[in-house]
Amino acid sequence: MTYPPPATAPADSGDELVSQFAADVRRHLSKQPRQLPSRYLYDALGSSLFDAICELPWYRVTRAEMRLLVRFAPRIWSAVLPLDRLIELGAGDGRKLAAFLSGRPTGLAPQRVDLVDISASALESAARAASAVDRTRVVQHHATYESGLQAASGEAPRGRALVLFLGSNIGNFDPSAADALLGDFAQSLRPGDALLLGADLVKPEGELLLAYDDPLGVTAAFNLNLLVRLNRELGADIDPAGFEHRAVWNERRSRVEMHLVSRREQELRIPGAGIALTLKAGETIWTESSYKYRPEQIRGVVERAGFTAAAQWQDARAGFALTLCELRRPH
């Protein structure tokens, strides 16, 4: 059941991102199957839990990408120099940015680093990592990828820019949304600008399930925390113990899905979003998709958006690829 939003907005609705949260929760929880957008997993606790996930032996994305960045940073820098702007979308804790920056030729630094993240706590730590670079101005954008990139790329200096879109963050977008997102990047950039894209590759199901349903339960906590956030920010009263974390490999769609499974029939009242709904026992809320790519599919998605894939490096052990792209001239 859906009824109009409350006349009195939630306490912290001065923040535009909070009312966006309410609107998204209302819309996505009313869908069938029920959903919640994965970007809301990253409140302060969610960001910390994600950082913990990156330390788990079963979640190899971050370490694989780090190895590639350390190894190939000098080559990437020499391909993109001279560079005025470095823009990172979804900067996270800033460790990858720091590794990439420390691989640059001595004495050379972009004039400006722009960090875009929907997590305020992640932005703070990424900004600390970037501030170690002398004479570089660090600008933070507490925003979504698209609006953050648009804000960042509109500002001076406007020489060549490199966008970092790492961590397989692209995996959260379904194929048409990934095309639209990269098309959006192309719109905000200019010919000659570069994009470094990190994407997790298809691998055996057993490995994928351990990565998304780890034996320590950290990923379960990360997923269940979304319910805790509904309680805190939208005045809900949900018992997280009434739900179970579930990860499934959807082979046909090439994605790992995370779901929250209701352990019993229960009513969810979310006053800040103006909704109340009844979940059946076993009914799920779909909270995330992590698409896994084949190397040639990565090249396909960037090429369709107007980029040329100039180089691709793979970590065969963990199944991860970094692809360096350049925006083509329109013809």
Q: What is the 3-state secondary structure (H, E, C) of 78-106?
A: HHHCCCCEEEEECCCCCHHHHHHHHCCCC
Q: How far is the CB of 161 from ligand AVJ (least distance, A)?
A: 23
C-alpha closest to that of 258 among 26, 1, 59, 19: 59
Which is closer to ligand AVJ, CB of 10 or CB of 46? 46
For residue 132, the SS3 value is coil
Which is closer to ligand AVJ, CB of 29 or CB of 170? 170
Residue 238 per-residue DSSP state? -
- Cα(222)–Cα(177) distance, rounded to whole angstroms? 24
Question: Interface residues with ligand AVJ (CB under 6 A)?
Answer: 53, 61, 167-169, 171-172, 212, 219, 288, 290
Which is closer to ligand AVJ, CB of 55 or CB of 265? 55
Q: How far is the CB of 138 from ligand AVJ (least distance, A)?
A: 22
DSSP E strand boundaries for 51-153: 85-89, 112-117, 137-142
| 162-to-17, 165, 190, 243, 246 alpha-carbon distances in Å | 27, 10, 10, 42, 37
Which is closer to ligand AVJ, CB of 167 or CB of 306? 167
Which is closer to ligand AVJ, CB of 61 or CB of 181? 61
Q: How far is the CB of 327 from ligand AVJ (least distance, A)?
A: 23
For 179, the enclosing helix (H) or strand (E) is: helix 175-188
DSSP E strand boundaries for 172-254: 194-200, 243-250
Q: How far is the CB of 59 from ligand AVJ (least distance, A)?
A: 6
Select the residue whose beta carbon is closest to ligand AVJ and give its number.
Answer: 290
Token reading at 283: 């009914």
C-alpha closest to that of 161 among 132, 125, 189, 136: 189
Q: How far is the CB of 122 from ligand AVJ (least distance, A)?
A: 11
Q: How far is the CB of 290 from ligand AVJ (least distance, A)?
A: 3
- Cα(201)–Cα(217) distance, rounded to whole angstroms? 23
Q: How far is the CB of 243 from ligand AVJ (least distance, A)?
A: 16
Which is closer to ligand AVJ, CB of 290 or CB of 323? 290
Which is closer to ligand AVJ, CB of 188 or CB of 219? 219
